[in-house]
Amino acid sequence: MDKILSNDIQKDHQEYVLTSWSKQLGILPKVMTKAEGVFFWDEEGRKYFDMSSQLVYTNVGHQHPKLLEAFKHIGEIPLSSPGFASASKSALAKKIIELAPNNMQKVFFTCGGAESNDHAIKIAKMVTGRYKIFSRYRSYHGATFGAGNLTGENRRLSAEPGIPGFVKFDIPYLYREAIDFSSEEQATEFYLKRLQQQILYEGPNTIAAIFIEPIPGSNGVIIPPKGYLEGVRTLCDEFGILMVCDEVMSGFGRTGKMFAVDHYDFEPDMITFAKGITSGYAPLGGVIVSNQIASYFDDHPLMTGLTYSGHTMCTQIGLETLKIYEEEKLIDNAYKVGKVLAERLEQLLSYSIVGEVRHLGLFAAVELVKDKTTREPLIQYGLDYGQDPVRLMNKFISMLLKKGFYTYSHESSIIIAPPLVITVDELNEAMDIFENVIQEFEKLINQPKFASV
């Protein structure tokens, strides 16, 4: 693509497109002019490692030839309303149930992550006859009104005043916890006791569901302490509450297993998904429901729906994507390369600005601090890349970009979640860049000009 065309695209974007989560003035979005595997190129011809898989979805990599081919052969009649059966919708639902935990039975298809969570909220209310919905601080569940109200960070605020009965509880974020627990198990016990009390204070018979990202993604890949998720399951069972796991980001191989819940010893009542099901090549999401929930709707109407639920274009791309995961053994690759990523990340702890590294498979975050002893974060809570008046995170991200490492950050954490097709050599090359930027940034913020901010 020539430079003049790219400039026109950027100019028209600035003039006519509203960009999410941003002040509009001064935005100069990149134009992706070429992409392949773990790489993409911008309008200046600069090449980048896509180390966040865009918004953590390009799992099979950019421009996968089999998916491009699948688009050319969308064989089925593309439009049949949700009441019709179609070959790809039936086959995809069947396949997802085969891959999901054993207790899962049926899929309700949506067009993305937030819509999936909105529908899971409604399903939980229908099935239990209760109205309260618990979710956690430091979670992101989407931007629609329902999912926005589930969300436990400042991206919720534009959806407030919120929906009555939406209650937040604390996440075990041990690095930023005031209590110094002697073990993960002790932390688990503490948080579960607190949650149990909160359930009692709120009235257990009013609570329909607890929503949890098993591993919160955009809030910094926060790994739960041992036994925590299983403990939440036990509390849900005790009080007749449904447990919904939001696997929009963590699902489909990101963590080195098909679903993040597969790392643990429990089964949720619902799993919401999107992103990885089509690797982002088509807008598809859904809610996977347990056999108990599925049978509830045998003789109760499912009072929800979407024009594009199970759109055949998306379900065909979903099927093809799942085939690629299998044929190219991408989940195994995420596990294998994830081990190398883990080693590289742990080595970064020797730098004074690296507070904590968190990782599972190819799902990771590096949390930067101003002071390792006090754990003072690089930027304050509630500020984000682009909103930080001191622009420290902007600086860090732009240093990465200049060297060809593309990703994004949230507060003081940088997300590292490359496409699952990445090789060990590619990962090492990208992490060399990352480490080099850490070294340069460490020197930079120790200069008097930055030391005082």
Ligand X SMILES: Cc1ncc(COP(=O)(O)O)c(C=O)c1O
Strands 132-136 and 104-110: unpaired
- Residue 209 and residue 245: Cα distance in Å, rounded? 10
Contact residues for ligand X, defined by CB under 6 A: 55, 112-114, 117, 140-142, 213, 217-218, 246, 248-249, 274
Number of helices (H), then strands (E), belonging to the chain: the values are 14, 16
Sign, CA torsion 322/101/247/344: negative
101 prior amide bond cis, ω within 30? no
Q: Which is nearer to ligand X, 229 or 248 (CB)?
A: 248
Minimum separation from the CB atom of position 308 to ligand X (A): 14
Minimum separation from the CB atom of position 343 to ligand X (A): 26
Minimum separation from the CB atom of position 3 to ligand X (A): 31
CB atoms within 10 A of CB 300: 10
Q: What is the C-alpha end-to-end distance of the chain, expressed in Å?
A: 42
Q: Which is nearer to ligand X, 53 or 412 (CB)?
A: 53
Q: Which is nearer to ligand X, 33 or 279 (CB)?
A: 279
Q: Which is nearer to ligand X, 195 or 271 (CB)?
A: 271
Amino acid at 51: M
Q: Which is nearer to ligand X, 20 or 24 (CB)?
A: 20
Backbone angles phi, psi at 355, to 5 degrees: -80, -55
Residue 103 has what DSSP assignment? T
Minimum separation from the CB atom of position 334 to ligand X (A): 17
Q: Which is nearer to ligand X, 48 or 140 (CB)?
A: 140
**Residue 420 · residue 253 · CB < 8 Å:** yes
DSSP sequence for 324-369: HHHHTTHHHHHHHHHHHHHHHHHHGGGSTTEEEEEEETTEEEEEEE
Output the 3-class SS for 381-437. CCCCCCCCCCCHHHHHHHHHHHCCEECCEECCEEEECCCCCCCHHHHHHHHHHHHHH
**Residue 320 · residue 300 · CB < 8 Å:** no
Minimum separation from the CB atom of position 385 to ligand X (A): 15
- Residue 41 and residue 32: Cα distance in Å, rounded? 6
- Tokens matching residue 445: 């913020």
Amino acid at 60: V
- Tokens matching residue 103: 């207790």
Residue 62 has what DSSP assignment? B
Q: Which is nearer to ligand X, 360 or 438 (CB)?
A: 360
Q: Which is nearer to ligand X, 53 or 316 (CB)?
A: 53
Minimum separation from the CB atom of position 137 to ligand X (A): 14
Minimum separation from the CB atom of position 79 to ligand X (A): 22
Minimum separation from the CB atom of position 386 to ligand X (A): 17
Q: Which is nearer to ligand X, 392 or 415 (CB)?
A: 415
CB atoms within 10 A of CB 316: 26
- The label of the residue with tokens 């002040």 reads 23
Q: Which is nearer to ligand X, 6 or 139 (CB)?
A: 139
Q: Which residue is nearest to ligand X (CB)?
A: 113
Minimum separation from the CB atom of position 251 to ligand X (A): 9
Minimum separation from the CB atom of position 361 to ligand X (A): 15
